[in-house]
Amino acid sequence: MQKIEDRDEAARRQKESNRAAVAKYQQKFKRINCRLDPDLYNEIVATGQSVNTFIIEACKEKLQKIENE
């Protein structure tokens, strides 16, 4: 019975440590929601990039344009 309790305790500690690691990682970023017209979404997906990557690159390009004005 002790082995089962030890295993359960180890699993609980692992879950807590995973949650802590995920929370620490997520603090590095800001999360936003973006609503897209389905046609626009499909066009982005058709490029082969993830929508997230496409949006990040588009934002960077726009900021670079603004800085160069």
Distance, in Å, from the CA atom of 46 to the CA atom of 40, rounded to the nearest integer, reads: 10
21 is in which domain, residue-wise?
1-30
47 with 54: CB under 8 angstroms?
yes
Q: What's the number of domains the chain is made of?
A: 2
Whether 36 shows a pLDDT value over 80: the answer reads yes
Distance, in Å, from the CA atom of 48 to the CA atom of 59, rounded to the nearest integer, reads: 18
| Same-domain status, 21 and 36 | no
pTM for this prediction:
0.66
| Same-domain status, 66 and 42 | yes
Q: What is the mean pLDDT of residues 19-31?
A: 92
As a whole number, the mean pLDDT across the chain is 91
| Same-domain status, 37 and 47 | yes
Q: Which amino acid is residue 62, in one-letter code?
A: K
Give 54's contacts (C-beta < 8 A, 6+ positions apart): 44, 47
Comparing 11-15, 28-32, 49-53, which segment has the lowest mean pLDDT? 11-15
